[in-house]
Amino acid sequence: MTNTPARYDAAGTSGIINIKTKKIVTAGFNGSANVAYSQGRYPKTAEGFNFNYRESKVNLFTNLSHNYQKRFSTLRLDRKILADNTASIDKIFNQEANAISTGNSYSAKLGVDFFATKKTTIGAVVNINSRGMSSNNPNITRISNASKDLESITKASVANETDWSSVNTNLNFRTLLDKKGKELTSDIDFARHRMDNDLYMVNSYTNAAGSQYRKADTLTGLLPQEINVYSARVDYLHPIKKDARFEAGIKSSIVRTNNNAVYDSIQNGEIIRDFNRSNHFVYEEAIHAAYANLSAPLSKKWSAQFGLRLENTVANGVQKTTGEKFDRSYTQLFPTAYFQYKANDKNNFGANFARRVSRPSYQSLNPFIKFIDRYTFSQGNPALKPSVSSNIEISHSWKNQITTTLNYTNIKDIINAIIQQRGQEAYNMPANISSLNQVGISVNANTPINKWWTSSIDINAYRDNYKGAINNAPIDLSATSFVITGTQQFKINKTLTAELNGRYRNGWLQGVMRTNPVSFIGAGLSQQVLKNQGTIRLTARDIFWTQRLKGRTQYGNVDVVMTQVAESQVVTIGFSYSFSKGKKMAPVKRTQGSANEEQNRIGQ
């Protein structure tokens, strides 16, 4: 479901997946353990353990995991620096940044469900996450004149140490009010995220002959960030006669972020505070929402659902270093409407409309500078506004195997990360650059070819049109694109299955960047062992290492070709084992918490 009902947060442009859970072993205990080893250019490991124990009025559960990663990435930027007020080329920058990152991540989830009565359940969940990552990024920039004659070389050594931790807590309550199915649920959530990022960058400068022409410089940075999330919601469900139901609810969330970046330069062995780059940014946001939703069959073949969600947002931010402030307050309505028509057992038709919002991540609002090298950095934008979209879909499903969907989307103030230039520096900053109009068609086919072969193919074709301006430079870009994704599953025998998957995406617009086609092919084998309690899996991802991004951004005084290569070619072998003791019962019906949208905006 791409357009979600009014019960869910209006944020985002993706939908939800309706998963119907089968009965599992819950009276007694059940669990699983897994381990995996991956090899790309560098090794990676993953381990996990899940356990659930249910007896009488108590259900206990836990999930534990650890991941180790070492990976590389390469970023190349070929930039043309234009002379002031002319279109002639002044300098050509050829930059290459190579990063090798190493780190460990840990997560632990502990929860309890208490069945106070047959109708009432009270639950609590604590989720703890920790990640430490270190990266070493040697970079080189070759600067040439308009005739492509090399003039100078800048080499940079950039080291980053990042430690990130979070604690998320949830209290939940669910009760059935009567035998007809009236239901009341509620959630209270608190989350605290902390990140410390240490930077150490050294730049050296030589001419084309390799002789030093200026002293090396050193920049250090301490960039701590703290985000606190408080959220609560209450939902009410009221069944009505003839399969109709009414839902209503309220939600409130408060988010506070505190970011205090300190940059220092080291000159002749002396540490000097860099006040131009240092900044202390504090941001607070409160969102209060209420919704109502009604779904009902209109006839034997027609059904409909209507919803309305109201969200009030109050946000304020201050850059304490410069004294800059902003305050925003606005109220928005988000209507939704769905229609379903069952023509017969083979054919179903649907149409829906939804208005949605996409709010910037908290990191995108943070004005701090993050360096790639001396000439290249990324920076947040406190002036970002949320983008609002209107979406229409018309669909047809045949035998629940082939689904065809037509869609139209209009997005105002769409947020895109934009490469901009200032003198010889290039920086990546998110901005509300334009409006987007998109029309598209998608076909999804999940069909059994025969008893041992199942095919899943998804084809999505669409046309994007961006209109707007960046730094007073007009933007009017269009592109017709398509994506083909396929998975072929083969049942070799009762315990052995194979899979072949792939994806091809032709050139498309990523904001104002025109990208080249990207594709990959993967494969896998799965063997059940130990009386089907254990599974051995072997997978290969991006076998031919074709998943490389290349694109060009060209507008105003900007002309940049970007090439990005990551460690996508990876082979993984893994083993999982499931165990249980007890009888099968219906799974615990648990809410998803009240802070999902806020957690997604943290971006970790």
Quick one: pLDDT at residue 595? Answer: 84
Q: What are the tens digits of pLDDT across the range 270-301? A: 899 998 889 999 999 999 999 999 999 999 99
Complete domains list, the chain, with CATH:
24-602 (2.40.170.20)
Quick one: pLDDT at residue 4? Answer: 77
User: How far apart, in Å, are the Cα atoms of 292 and each of 233, 573, 592, 598?
Assistant: 14, 48, 19, 21
Quick one: pLDDT at residue 85? Answer: 63
Distance CA 62, CA 74 (A): 38
**What is the value of pTM for the model shown?**
0.90
Quick one: pLDDT at residue 242? Answer: 81
Q: What are the tens digits of pLDDT across the range 320-367? A: 988 899 999 999 999 999 999 999 999 999 999 999 999 999 999 998
User: How far apart, in Å, are the Cα atoms of 44 and each of 538, 547, 550?
Assistant: 14, 19, 26
Phi, psi at residue 518, to the nearest 5°?
-135, 140
Kind plus residue range of the DSSP H or E element containing 362: helix 362-365
- Burial class for 181, CB neighbours closer than 10 Å (0-12, 13-18, 19+): exposed
| Amino acid found at 293 | N
The two counts, helices (H) then strands (E), for the chain are 2, 29
Distance CA 55, CA 582 (A): 10
Strands 120-145 and 387-398, sheet pairing: unpaired
Quick one: pLDDT at residue 1? Answer: 53
Distance CA 489, CA 487 (A): 7
Strands 270-273 and 402-422, sheet pairing: unpaired
Which residue from 340, 274, 355, 252 is spatially nearest to 302, judged by alpha carbons? 340
Quick one: pLDDT at residue 536? Answer: 98
Where the chain has pLDDT below 70, the residues are: 1-2, 12-26, 85, 585-587, 589-590, 603-604
What is the C-alpha radius of gyration for the chain, rounded to an integer number of angstroms? 27
Cα 242 to chain centroid, rounded: 39
Half-sphere CA count of 61, side-chain side, radius 13 A: 22
> Who contacts 560 (Cβ-Cβ below 8 Å, separation ≥6)?
77, 78, 79, 80, 419, 421, 426, 552, 553, 554
Are 475 and 468 in contact by the 8 Å Cβ rule? The answer is yes
Which residue from 422, 542, 411, 413 is spatially nearest to 471, judged by alpha carbons? 422
Cα 138 to chain centroid, rounded: 28
Quick one: pLDDT at residue 21? Answer: 44
Distance CA 53, CA 317 (A): 46
Which residue from 595, 593, 599, 596 is spatially nearest to 174, judged by alpha carbons? 593
Strands 58-82 and 120-145, sheet pairing: unpaired
